[in-house]
Every structure is written in structure tokens, then in C-alpha cells.
């Protein structure tokens, strides 16, 4: 049973990937990070001394603090934040309990050098799905640039941005998989829900609707969004909400059907 100012790994995992996810702070010391150089999805590594006073961006946020075992560092940082009026709790058992539970962890070495990403303009499926995955599971502060296809490599170079979903870069289609699959692989984010969602995205993005019956609907919605918005960033905002719903379907509702009036085909 967690304490009154703690959250369990299972409870936190239910929040990650949704709009209700807290800000997750990893305050492990350097030696502990070196021993296990992985992060809970969506978390940021900061020293435990960085929170008095608290960074301004934490005001009004719900915060979860993790250290190696969920003891003095996370308990202390959470208490310091609460003393400043910030809703904060510590992760019960810390990152050791998280890893022992078989929950996903991102290799720090896979993280790009900045929070800036760049891809081709006028997105449809993969170029909306990937930003959703990045913001919900990799870097909540990620920013996205949509530019002319021919300019993506040079924009990436000049602005120190990570290119994705173009030929010849790390995060792109690989074999039968799409860029969303590549991100799942490289950031070690595979789970039943994300793999289920990835299949639908792959089927819609590669026009193989035989792989998943939901693919035709996703493609239709994606094309519709691209017709509704001239501004790619406005389309991305709308698409984030779409993929929030699809993730909840993939996690909790994939086996639910709908028949009304009931039994009409009997």
C-alpha cells in the first residue's frame, strides 16, 4: 500500500501516455544513473538540488519524483515541492521497482540532443502519430518543425533538430515497418497497447488495410484532418487528441464492440 504522498509504478504507468500524466522527475545521483542509464518514459533527469526554489514551469503541475529506491531523494524533493505549493508525490520503490515490474524504460543514449524535431510538411498518418508518441512517451516538451521535403536534412543540420520520416535517417521506415515502429524499437517502448496501435498506424500509413480493420477509418480521419487545416501545427494539435483516443482504445477498449439495436442481425 503506497503512502499518502506516493504513487505506485502501476498507477503511474496508467497515467503515462495520457493527457493526465504528471511531470516526471528522475533525481537519481550520477552513480545510480550510470548503473542503470534508462529513464521512465516521459521523465527528465535533474539533480535533487535543483528544486529550491522550484523551476517556474512546475507551478500548477502535478509532479512525480523518482530516485533509485523511492527513499530520501524522491521523498525529499517531493516534500520541498509541496512546501512551495506544488502537488508532488514520490514513486514507491523508485526506478528499481519500476524496472523489476517489467515496465518500459528509455535508454538515455537514444535520446536526441535537443527537443527539436523536423519532418516533411502536410502530414497524414505517421507524421502525426510519431509526434504524439514523442510527446506522450519520450519528451513532453518536444517541438516539431514541418518544412518542404527537400529542406528537411538541411534544416535538421542548421537547427540541430532530429529528422524523422524521410529517407536516409535513423527514424524512418524500416522494412515492413513505419517510423512509428522505429521509434518503438529504438526507445524500447513496446507494450501490448502501443504494439496494437502501431499495427493500425502501419496498416493505414502503408495502405495495407488487410493488417487491421481500423486502418481505413484512421486513414479517413487523417486525410480529413489534413483537409481541415492549412497550418500543420494546428493539424498536429487536433491529431494529438485523435491519437489520445486511439491509445485508450488500444489499451482499454480494443475488445469492445457496438450493436444497436441489439440483435438486429439475428
Q: What is the mean pLDDT of the chain?
A: 96
Proportion of the chain above pLDDT 90, given as a percent: 95
85-126 pLDDT, tens digit each: 999 999 999 999 999 999 999 999 999 999 999 999 999 999
pLDDT for 2 beyond 80: no
Q: Give, in order, the Cα–Cα distances in Å from 42 to each of 16, 18, 26.
A: 8, 11, 10
Place of cell 484532418: 225
116-168 pLDDT, tens digit each: 999 999 999 999 999 999 999 999 999 999 999 999 999 999 999 999 999 99
pLDDT at residue 40 in the model: 98
Q: Cα dihedral angle (163, 165, 166, 172), rounded to 10 degrees?
A: 100
> What's the pTM?
0.96
* pLDDT band, residue 266 (cuts 50/70/90): low
Q: Give, in order, the Cα–Cα distances in Å from 25 to each of 22, 113, 114, 214, 228.
A: 9, 18, 18, 36, 37
10-54 pLDDT, tens digit each: 999 999 999 999 999 999 999 999 999 999 999 999 999 999 999
Name the phi and psi angles at 219, rounded to 5: -60, -45
Q: Give, in order, the Cα–Cα distances in Å from 103 to each of 15, 16, 179, 217.
A: 13, 11, 22, 31
Mean pLDDT of 47-76: 97
DSSP string across the chain: ---TTEE-HHHHHHHTTSTTPPEEEE---HHHHHHS-EE-TTEEE--TTS-SSPPGGGTT-EEEEE-SSSSHHHHHHHHHHHTTT-EEEEETTHHHHHHHTT---EEGGGS-SSSEEEEESS--SHHHHHHHHIIIII-TT-EEEEE-GGGHHHHHHHHT-EEBSSTTSSBS-BTTB-HHHHHHHHTT---HHHHHHHHHHHHHHTT-TTS-TTHHHHHHHHHHHHHH-SSHHHHHHHHHHHHHHHHHIIIIITT----SSTTTT-
**CB proximity list for 223: less than 8 A, separation 6 or greater:** 124
Domain boundaries, the chain: 6-107, 112-253
pLDDT at residue 114 in the model: 97
Residue with the bigger pLDDT between 28 and 263: it is: 28
DSSP string across 167-179: TTSSBS-BTTB-H
* pLDDT band, residue 193 (cuts 50/70/90): very high
pLDDT at residue 173 in the model: 97
Proportion of the chain above pLDDT 70, given as a percent: 98
Mean pLDDT of 261-266: 66
pLDDT at residue 137 in the model: 98
pLDDT at residue 264 in the model: 63
pLDDT at residue 260 in the model: 83
pLDDT for 182 beyond 60: yes
> Which of 93, 120, 114 lies closest to 159 in space, CA to CA?
114
Mean pLDDT of 52-65: 97
pLDDT at residue 10 in the model: 97
pLDDT at residue 259 in the model: 84
CATH number of this structure's domain 6-107: 3.40.250.10
Amino acid at each position: 500500500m503506497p503512502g499518502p504522498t506516493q504513487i505506485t509504478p502501476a498507477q503511474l504507468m496508467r497515467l503515462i501516455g495520457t493527457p493526465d500524466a504528471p511531470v516526471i522527475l528522475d533525481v537519481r545521483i550520477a552513480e545510480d544513473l550510470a548503473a542503470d542509464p534508462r529513464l521512465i518514459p516521459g521523465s527528465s533527469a535533474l539533480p535533487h538540488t535543483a528544486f529550491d526554489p522550484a523551476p517556474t514551469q512546475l507551478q500548477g503541475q502535478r509532479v512525480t519524483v523518482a530516485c533509485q529506491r523511492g527513499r530520501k531523494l524522491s521523498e525529499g524533493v517531493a516534500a520541498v515541492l509541496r512546501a512551495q505549493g506544488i502537488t508532488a508525490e514520490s514513486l514507491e520503490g523508485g526506478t528499481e521497482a519500476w524496472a523489476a515490474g517489467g515496465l518500459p524504460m528509455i535508454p538515455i543514449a537514444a535520446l536526441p540532443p535537443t527537443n527539436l524535431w523536423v519532418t516533411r510538411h502536410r502530414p497524414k498518418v505517421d507524421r502525426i502519430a510519431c509526434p504524439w508518441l514523442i510527446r506522450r512517451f519520450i519528451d513532453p516538451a518536444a517541438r516539431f518543425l514541418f518544412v518542404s521535403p527537400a529542406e528537411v536534412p538541411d534544416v535538421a543540420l542548421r537547427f540541430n533538430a532530429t529528422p524523422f520520416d524521410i529517407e536516409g535517417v535513423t527514424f524512418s521506415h524500416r522494412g515492413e515497418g513505419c517510423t512509428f515502429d522505429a521509434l518503438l524499437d529504438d526507445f524500447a517502448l513496446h507494450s501490448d497497447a502501443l504494439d496494437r496501435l502501431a499495427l493500425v498506424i502501419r496498416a493505414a500509413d502503408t495502405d495495407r488495410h488487410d493488417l487491421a480493420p481500423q486502418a481505413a477509418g484512421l486513414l479517413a480521419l487523417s486525410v480529413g484532418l489534413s483537409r481541415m487545416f492549412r497550418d500543420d501545427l494546428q493539424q498536429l494539435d487536433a491529431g494529438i487528441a485523435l491519437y489520445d483516443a486511439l491509445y485508450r482504445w488500444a489499451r482499454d477498449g480494443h475488445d469492445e464492440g457496438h450493436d444497436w439495436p441489439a440483435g438486429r442481425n439475428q
